[in-house]
Amino acid sequence: MTDPFSAVAALGVVPVIAIDDARDAIALADALLEGGLAVAEITFRTAAAAETLAILRDARPELLIGAGTVLDLGSLEAAIAAGARFGLAPGFDPEIVETAAMRGLPFAPGVMTPSELGAAVRRGVRLAKYFPAGAAGGPKALEAIAAPFAHLGVRFVPTGGVSMDTMADWLKMKSVAAVGGTWIARSEDIRERRFADIARKARAAVDRAAEIRGAAQ
């Protein structure tokens, strides 16, 4: 089975999604797939997260599904039971990282400082969410934080404040595997069933990531 984080890195962008109603899961998945974005981070910010993951696992297995905002062991176990292929969190919790490793779930904790990153690396983490990417200082800050860990192959998924306009600033960095984007499938777009808009934004993000990566080669 392909490493899910390798698949995320190949796309260069992952939509960060807070879905309120699991009944919208299939239409959302189809919009992302239509846009060529075969990955979704379903965040545990809403009560519908686990049910949404389970629906997508069974009905749209071609979509690589991950669980975001995993803040406690209960959410971690719910995500695993619902079929999440990977997990992410906005912060670093050693217990969650260690439990995810024991349960065989690829997991990217959030970091913002060298100390957090160092603690994560000691527990085997080689992909971390950089959050909140914009407020934490942007690409220059990440570049400085990442430099002492570069020889270990540590990479990042900046999330929080990333947009179509700033994707290039992040993806041109060798340490960045992908960016996380909330703009692709916003909660209000899902609630109002603007799935054609979601498909369009997904396609634009995928195409832009490929363009940036191609220019950097």
Instruction: Give the residue numbers annotated as catalytic, written as ranges.
Output: 41, 129
Separation CA 175–CA 173 (nearest Å) = 5
Cα gap 212→103, rounded to integer Å: 35
Residues sharing a CB contact under 8 Å with residue 29, sequence separation 6 or more, in sequence order: 40, 56, 59, 60, 63
95: left (phi over 0), alpha (psi -120 to 50) or beta: alpha
- Burial pattern 54-90, b for ≥16 Cβ within 10 A else e, equals bbbbeebeebbbbbbbbeeeebbebbbebbbbbbbbb
DSSP helix/strand/coil, 186: coil
Instruction: Name residue 154's amino acid.
Output: V
Q: Three-state DSSP class for 126?
A: coil
